[in-house]
Structure 1
Amino acid sequence: MRRWSLAGQMFALQAVVIALVMGGVAVAAYLRIDASNTEATGTEMLAVAHTLAVDPAVLAALDDPDPSAVLQPLAERVRADTATDFVVVMTTSGIRYSHPTVSEIGRTFQGTIAPAVAGRTDYTETYPGTLGPSVRAVVPVFDGGRVVALVSVGRTLTAVSRELAPLVGQILAAAAAALLLAAGGSWLVSRWVRRTTHDLGPAELARMYSYYDAVLHAVREGLVLLDREGRVQLVNDEARRLLALTGDVQGSRVDEIGLPTVLGDALADGEPRSDEIHLTADRIVVVNSGAAGRLGTVVTLRDHTELRALVSELETIRGFADSLHAQAHEAANQLHTVVSLIELGRAEEALEYATAELEVAQHLTDAVLAAIAVPELAALVVGKAAVAAERGVELDLDDGTVVPDGVADARDLVTIVGNLLDNAIDAALDGAEPRWVRLDAVTVSGELVLRVSDSGPGLASGAADQAFTRGWSTKPTDNDAGRGLGLALVRRAAHRLGGRVEVGAGERGAVFTVVLPVPVDVTDPVRA
């Protein structure tokens, strides 16, 4: 039986249970009917006995020298008329005056007579007499209130059982019909179970569940299963980590479990998605989703946070390389100019030219290193300045700018300032000349205020509220997956550091302001 499918085992077990139940019901019904029939027979025997006990002929016969001569024919006639098995008239001491077997006349009655002798008129019992076990009634015969004789009327249990024979057939037929109906229902249920379980056995199902559960918890990709109404049916451990889910979310709508609005709406609509990038509270995730037949939607999530950080660092390094390449090209031009001036015999002019160019190149670097105590951020600003200059945009650092070391995680600062500078440079290129970008940072009341402004066209009316939403961008692109991610990353990084981001209008273009709390143990190494 272990090799049977789950449906086959269920059908066999149900058939056995139903057969046992129906057998028990049939036996119980028979016993109940038998008890009721026995009780009805006792009542009938009482009625016959009472009728004979009040017959005047019985009292008259008791005064006769030979009572049996009168009572035997009378008793037999009553027995024949009432279809009973015996009618016995006896003395109060149990000596029979009548009996179906003539040889029993004069012998002692076999049964209980004490209640009747005491005057009780409703006594019945089942007793094994001379004719076999029988249901009998024993009643007194009164003469002026005095018990002068007894009458017993009975029917054997064999005769009582014969009356039940037709009922037994009916009970068995009803039980068989109920058994067939129940078996048919069980067969239909087993067919449904077979389709549902793909005709697999319990051992196979248990093994499959064990493998499924192990894979579900061990796989390093987030998995979320949604039904057709967008309710969460399953979330594995990695998905809980990536989406920062707590508590039991099964049965809840996916857009009501605390996800960012854009991500929650994207998962709830049930549309197929391929490698879409979304932001959670502190992570970047790649989302893929597809239909799972009639069951709903399968959503997979991959952690893109570290990869995005590496890409940002790579872009920063690439910017440094580009700026070094540009500076090398510019240095070569300057060197050729100096050499040519010397060859022309104008050494003093060559020295003045070289000194002036060196001061210009060194000015921004010195200013950045003096103002920004975070090495990674300082290097980023120098590199962005070179990139901006190559693209025709001047990147200035306002006087009084100070960024203390340890004010925040260097990677978050690079994310914030790098994305804001990139957007500002692109915006400045869309504006009129002169094109410029300004960066300033001051510490006020225990908060670091970073501000990036540009000479671009600014933000359109009403766009300020949408600027930090993932997917919003003013730049044309063919890749929607990474579109509008920079400012969203800025806001996530600022919120992670306990700060806030604001956007407004400047003298020409937009002004983005990031306010970050400064730890109490951070000192200002530039001003100290």
Structure 2
Amino acid sequence: MPFAYRKLKLKTRMILILGLVSALQTGLIGGFAGYYLSESLYEQIGQRALMVSKTVAAMPAVIEGVKKRDTETLTALSKRIADTNQALFIVIGDSHAIRLAHPDPDRIGHSMADDDGDRGTRALKYGEGYVAKAHGSLGLSMRGKAPIIDISNGEIIGIVSVGYSLDQVFSTIQRYNMVLYLVMGLMLLGSVLAAIVIAGRFKKAIFGLEPEEIAALFQERDATLQSVREGIIAINRDGVITTFNRTAIETLGLGPDTRLAGRPIGDVLPENNLMSVLETGEPAFDREVWMQGRQMIVNRLPVKQGDTIIGVVASFRLRDELDQVSRQLTRIQQYADTLRSQTHEYSNKLHTIAGLIQIGANEQALALIGSEVSDHQALIHLLLEAVPDPVLAGCLLGKYNRAREMGLQLAIDPDSEMADLPPQLPRDQLVSVLGNLIDNALEATRQHRGEGGVVHLSMTDLGHDLIFEVEDQGPGIPEAERERIFERGVSSKTEGDHGIGLYLVKQFVDRWGGSVTVEPLQPNGSRFTLYLTKTPVQTEGVMQ
């Protein structure tokens, strides 16, 4: 049954629920009204019977007739009064409950207990009038009984029993019930019609979607929101945050457990311009702004319901991320150039080897082949042993070939070991940082030493840190510049777009919770030492 119910459309469910609730309410109200009506009628008939019985018992003619035991007079009198009051019967008995008047003459002289077992004890013994419901010789009736008292001496000399047929009550109740049932039916019909209208408007308000579809859309929306690599924050017309994603928390430098929903946007981002968009309704795209002390690219879009602005959605990302994408594309281009140069280099060497063989210089050809194979085999063997991570190993192999193309040598310390890389360390950022350090070392060495220069690289993963040391044979860095070289735009190179590589290195190291140092070498050159902790430290942004 629950499964069948879930398969019903929302509109049908609402009609069924509202209809059942209305039917239940109508049934309860109708049942209570019917019960109250029946009890009220029974009580009214009983009180009427008791009133008539007291009236008859107080009549002088009845008192005198009982004293004389004048059954004929009492019978005629009781019949006349019964007809006048539309009573089923009026029975008069003496002090021993022996009938003196009865609609059926054959029952005169017999005990009143023959009808219902009630001898009228309360009336004859205690002088009390009372009401009783009983099934007698004339059918089911509501009876009122009162004592007949001789006013001359106050003695109880008889009893009067007045009865009204309950069939009359039943017919009256049925008439009332017919009206009640009609009203209940109209109420139920009105409730069903109201349920249909309400369900239709509700379904229209939720764009005709079913609850399951709404739940699925909400889950998809939440998953989509969290998967977006841009920070997203939405506010309502009151400037209160209603929606946000994890990227927004991370981009703003807030704590991972920070909850933004329900907070005014001014408390989280005092320097935001979302309220102006809420007022003007003008969207803004790709605006460069500073938020939380960071340069970001922000898009703002008003949310409208009809022609009314009900909120604003903002998406934002760090400007550095765009720069990083650009640099990664540039680096890919450099790798492609390196592969092309390597292909060209090997093509030249193959031609040289072929020429040596043709002129019969086989020993020289073998020596050239051996030298080439041994160098690469030694490097590959070292990388397989010391650097099992394929991304890092590929980066180092590419830089080795890049150094050879530049006429330099990248010497990797044979005692290096870098096998304990933490899984959460982003490999693309690691190779970007290390690649920047090696590229800078190669450029500095070529400018100062020319061909034949050597760049040394050593790595170790012992202890709690990953340590990379890159030594160049460049001109060195003046002491006054050693702290500034990690700032954006600061570089010792005059041509091209420089001053970014070391800045990105420092940014990554700070985010990861590591450090980078630079120290001079003798007689010339510099050593860059990169420390990356194996357990990252989350840094929080500063609210401005």
Q: Is the 8 A contact 1:282 1:496 kept in 2?
A: no
Q: TM-score, normalised by structure 1?
A: 0.58
Q: Is the 8 A contact 1:136 1:155 kept in 2?
A: yes
Q: Is the 8 A contact 2:274 2:312 kept in 1?
A: no
Q: 1:106 aligns with which of 109, 114, 117?
A: 109
Instruction: Say which SS state the counterpart of residue 134 (structure 2) adopts.
Output: strand
Partners of 2:135 and 2:80 lie apart in 1 by 24
Amino acid of the residue matched to residue 313 of structure 2?
A: V
TM-superposed CA distance for 1:114, in Å, is 2.0
> In 2 relative to 1, CA 122–218 (structure 1 residues): closer, same or farther, beyond 3 Å?
farther
Structure-1 residue corresponding to 2:492: 383
Give the percent of matched residue pairs that are identical in Structure 1 and Structure 2. Answer: 23
Q: Is the 8 A contact 2:303 2:311 kept in 1?
A: yes
> In 2 relative to 1, CA 103–302 (structure 1 residues): closer, same or farther, beyond 3 Å?
farther
Partners of 1:188 and 1:128 lie apart in 2 by 53
Structure-2 residue corresponding to 1:411: 506
> In 2 relative to 1, CA 311–282 (structure 1 residues): closer, same or farther, beyond 3 Å?
farther
- Alpha-carbon deviations, 1:415-444, whole Å to 9, x = none? 9xxxxxxxxxxxxxxxxxxxxxxxxxxxxx
* 1:235 maps to 2:244: yes
Structure-2 residue corresponding to 1:203: 212
Partners of 2:15 and 2:487 lie apart in 1 by 76
> In 2 relative to 1, CA 86–379 (structure 1 residues): closer, same or farther, beyond 3 Å?
closer
Amino acid of the residue matched to residue 202 of structure 1?
A: P
Partners of 2:488 and 2:214 lie apart in 1 by 60
Partners of 1:217 and 1:97 lie apart in 2 by 98
Q: Is the 8 A contact 1:372 1:378 kept in 2?
A: no
- Alpha-carbon deviations, 1:172-217, whole Å to 9, x = none? 2322232232222212111112202333333333333333333333
TM-superposed CA distance for 1:69, in Å, is 1.6
Amino acid of the residue matched to residue 371 of structure 1?
A: A
Amino acid of the residue matched to residue 291 of structure 2?
A: T
Partners of 1:82 and 1:312 lie apart in 2 by 111
> In 2 relative to 1, CA 102–145 (structure 1 residues): closer, same or farther, beyond 3 Å?
same
* 1:371 maps to 2:483: no
- Alpha-carbon deviations, 1:443-485, whole Å to 9, x = none? xxxxxxxxxxxxxxxxxxxxxxxxxxxxxxxxxxxxxxxxxxx
TM-superposed CA distance for 1:17, in Å, is 2.0
Structure-2 residue corresponding to 1:116: 123
Partners of 1:90 and 1:414 lie apart in 2 by 116
Q: Is the 8 A contact 2:34 2:177 kept in 1?
A: yes
Amino acid of the residue matched to residue 271 of structure 2?
A: T
Q: Is the 8 A contact 2:66 2:94 kept in 1?
A: no
Amino acid of the residue matched to residue 268 of structure 2?
A: G
Amino acid of the residue matched to residue 289 of structure 2?
A: H
Instruction: Say which SS state the counterpart of residue 19 (structure 1) adopts.
Output: helix
User: How many equivalent residue pairs?
Assistant: 359
Partners of 2:209 and 2:91 lie apart in 1 by 72
Q: 1:261 aligns with which of 250, 271, 278?
A: 271
Amino acid of the residue matched to residue 22 of structure 2?
A: I
Structure-1 residue corresponding to 2:380: none
Partners of 1:285 and 1:381 lie apart in 2 by 21
> In 2 relative to 1, CA 262–227 (structure 1 residues): closer, same or farther, beyond 3 Å?
closer
TM-superposed CA distance for 1:120, in Å, is 4.2
Structure-2 residue corresponding to 1:224: 233
Structure 2 matches for 1:125-204, cutoff 5 A? 125-143=132-150, 144-204=153-213
TM-superposed CA distance for 1:156, in Å, is 1.7
Q: TM-score, normalised by structure 2?
A: 0.57
Structure-1 residue corresponding to 2:292: 281
Partners of 2:17 and 2:541 lie apart in 1 by 63
Q: Is the 8 A contact 1:377 1:414 kept in 2?
A: no
TM-superposed CA distance for 1:18, in Å, is 1.0
TM-superposed CA distance for 1:130, in Å, is 1.9
Q: 1:46 aligns with which of 46, 50, 64?
A: 50
TM-superposed CA distance for 1:312, in Å, is 9.1
Partners of 2:127 and 2:316 lie apart in 1 by 91
Partners of 2:181 and 2:541 lie apart in 1 by 82
Alpha carbon RMSD of aligned pairs, Å? 4.1
TM-superposed CA distance for 1:252, in Å, is 4.2
Structure-2 residue corresponding to 1:432: none
